[in-house]
Structure 1
Amino acid sequence: MEAKPAEVVKYLMINMGVMATVTQSVDAETAVVVAEAFGKKVVRGALPDDDGVAAAGVANMGNAIDEDPEESLLPRPPVVTIMGHVDHGKTTLLDAIRSAKVASGEAGGITQSIGAYQVTTASGQEVTFIDTPGHAAFSEMRARGANATDVVVLVVAADDGVKEQTKECIATAKLASVPIVVAINKMDKPGADPARVLNELMNYQLLSTEFGGDVEVGKVSAKNKDGLDDLLDKILLQAEVLELKANPNRAAQGVVIEAGMKQGLGTVATTLIQRGTLKIGDIFVAGASWGKVRLLMNHTGARITEAGPSTPVQVVGFDGVPGAGDVFTVVDKEETARTITDSRRKLLRENQAAQMQGDLKGNVEAILSGMLEDGAKEKMELPIVLRADGPGSAEALASSLRELVSEDEYFKVTCKVLTAGVGEVTKSDIAIAGVSNAYVVCFNVAANHQAVEDARRGDIEIGYYNVVYDVLDQVQERLDRIRSPTPDGVYIGRAQVKVIFSIGKVGNIAGSEVLDGEVRRGSNVRIMRMGRVVHEGALKVLKNVKADVEAMVAGTECGIQVSDFEDFQEGDFIECYIDE
């Protein structure tokens, strides 16, 4: 408006009662009033984000903005998502179908991210497969797989039946309104019982065609490559019913399946093209990132010049790392891409600031409520700095870590993920960890040399993992140790103080009942009261009635005296440890 910032702030405060700073955002109505007060004419518009992209010059941004004419639509390959419980053979089945070793390259034999591949059947028809992880930590990633697919293949082990993640996959597919084809795998195993699997699936409204339902079921052995042609026929039959078509002669649009950093290439995003054709040199927008296509690679890593509908392709040329599930859209010019991403990044920053304020308010309220509530648990947090090989992995792991908890009657310990980023650990990550005394978790990534040196100097621990089970299990162990720290030695038993005896010059003796294990004279002890450690020392005297004894076992009563401590209270716990 060619006005000094101080004048605008002054007008807001005095005339409108808005206590604003120079960098603060105001709503549109307030902005109009202020601008008109300064003699400016205001024309109301809209930021060019997902709902106003067309006005900003984005070519064909979703069905909500434009529809392809019926005559421009051509048949396209079906996109099939492989889902199922962990270790039921999803990747091995896909491996058998496309005759390439994929499962052998997965840490722990399980898929940690989403992979997209395209195969050609014996009849010459192309099918695009998306392989999603089966572990519970990757529910969000499985959901993205279903939302980008035409058909879901639900893999169930014939010797194991329907499991927890199987149920999640069924719910995910139904939520996305995607038809399901069931693949009963591991038919070669001695304990295979397909009838049991079919009966269990009926509990989730999946009735096979042989029972009069509409769900196609294929019985396969991925290991022996039996029944694969029959399964592919059932998939293609389902795809034929859907009459899948797309317009290849237009600007490309798709969805980011997974993204990460690769040495020498920068950000590489596996993208599923849903309509149009993506070409080298195209300018695109994906979430809050934009770029120009510098390189296209197919699922085998070979370079290609273009990718049509239902084609999974690795795109190089992003200015940042997009999120898994972000809409990928080709735009007409660089200026448009910058405008869109700038507005999205601004909105993202505002949302993050609002969330931080909300978290701060929630923390203050939690502290105050804890002060007011009688007998409230003391809450502690384990700070974590998380770095992963892709945004999908980072997001899913962060979500799972936040759900971990260790609690007892007095204490509750949870995880607080300070940052969850993509790529190697850097100096800034170590700086954050140093300030907050955080544990650094690296999932399929490493720390650079400078970060390692800083971590050593600051005594900051870095954990390297390539299997999600290990991350969750070891962080859970840390939470348990925070809640109940162990002094030097090995835990051997615990007693509870029932009554206190005061014996002249001897001092106070704790009349106690041994609850588990044994208590032993000379052992290290820790005295716990209301979840707090009130003393650590040595068990000096142990008596059974009046006789001195070496040890007392669970279920017995004894008298305990601890070195340099007499302030026993009824209900105290005495935990005993011995040197290894």
Structure 2
Amino acid sequence: MSKVRIYTLAKDLGVENQRMLEILDGLGVSYKSVSSTIEEETVDLIKQILAEESTEAATETVAAEAAPAVSAPEAPAKAGSDDVAPVASSEAPAASATAEIPHRAPVVTIMGHVDHGKTSLLDYIRKTKVAAKEAGGITQHVGAFEAQTSKGRIVFIDTPGHEAFTTIRARGANVADIAIIVIAADDSLMPQTREAIAHAQAAKVPMIIAINKVDLPQADPDRVKTDLTQLNLVPEEYGGDLVVVPVSAKTGEGVEELLEYISLTAELEDLRADPKAAFGGVIIEGRVDRQQGVLATVMVQEGTLHVGDFLVVGENYGKIKAMNDSNGARIKEAGPSTPVQILGFSDVPNSGEKVASAKNEHAAREVVASRQSDRRDVENARVQRRKTLEEMMGPLSEDRTVNLIVRADSQGSVEAIQGILARKETDAVKLNVMLAGIGAPTEGDVLLASTAEAHILCFSVTAPAGVKKIADNKGIDLKSFRIIYEMIDEVDRLIKGNLEPVFEEKYLGRAEVRMVIRHPKNGNIAGSYITDGSFKRNAKAKVTRGKETVYEGTIVGLKRFKDDVREVKNGFECGVNLDWEGVMEGDIIEASEMVEVIPA
């Protein structure tokens, strides 16, 4: 029995993809995405449902046209009626605010191994989807271009390569909405392919695999799909949810289908941006032109950019003197998902730096001065911020995952290490090897580790001095080992450090309240005598009155005479501040603290 793809059926029937998925949900049909296939029997049911909906809609229209017009009764006038909002506008759907924000074009980056056809694919799309008169010299001017398709506009970042992609992300900017991983059909997965996939996964952007060079006699797309499963990436036709499209950048085969999948993915991601919001954007690239001066390519992400606006990038600012679109044409304004080239900065901005607008030059200077002051404070302090337990390990209710990048001297060593790591996983801590390769760690590894909070472990290879320095500056854990057992010990340490700590309550001491002191600022203070153990500030406290527990909380303060103290021991008198007004003479206070249980 033949099958049909959901999005193809939706297109043929003139129905939105989202509506098609709603019908399938109502029928109880399982699917992974709009590119999944369904049986002909299901197609017949869908057509029947749509036909019934069409009939009902037509009947309602006829009835409405036949019904006589009835005027609504005029509401009686009330005193102060000017202060009352009209009934029609008194309530609005909660989701209306989101629905009113228009959709924006998806921004796509293309990555993969060298010589697998990334640039060729971009060139083919550019030549066929950009008007011929506008196509010339695009890459010389703007590091992005816009393609017009039957599904609308798609923006491609014309800086292929995972290093450029991750450099931007390392500065906290998320530019790309979708990543296309190009894999040659005659070569399958290569080291840079695995790196590109790891970078896309770290960025948490949807991935589409484009198997290129399918026109070659030696092409073997099935081998590529099988190899992908080794990375836990399962193509849709194998029962997974990974979109895989065979293409040829030479003949154009499959390119239309690839663009269709990009549009479908963007539709499901529901990409929106408010052109009326405050401007926000990201630097794609910057350079110096001998004739014009500093040129910067900016991707508009939110709001609208106008010629004459003041922009702030890092510790620099500038006024837009001129602005070109991706075709090189002069424009006066640019909305969301629009790459533009700007003339107006005095210094070349770095890729990935965030761009904001300012009302005027004075406001721009104030922002820059504030950022410079903050930087100087950080440089003078040189104190690394201490992370809280939750920041270091994530919310305690979640499973821990330790991200690792592994480098070794040979493929055999890599495979052996991966086998050891697989056996080291526990139910509480998962080891995620984002990247495993041969040779010394690279700057790209450090960038990936920075964005994914990963540790870099090297066996029998040493990081170059430059890479080691970058890792130190970014605070990345990069360690090299010559003995395999030392690496295993390090993995054990990482696992132990990510286990949820176990605490138990430890008894500290007991005190008898002998008088209650009324303090104008601190409230009631329990004048107490320590009869056993000791009391500590910030310890837990339990107050009992006879056999009843009347309070459980914290010792917020301890005093000996007029002095604040951290601890008071057995046999001494002290003032105990419980931040509770109900304490009475004769009450018994027990102090305890939570201590971590160190496993043997």
- What range describes the TM-score normalised by the shorter chain of this pair? 0.3 to 0.5
Larger Rg computed on CA atoms: 2
Normalising by structure 2, we get a TM-score of: 0.45
Normalising by structure 1, we get a TM-score of: 0.46
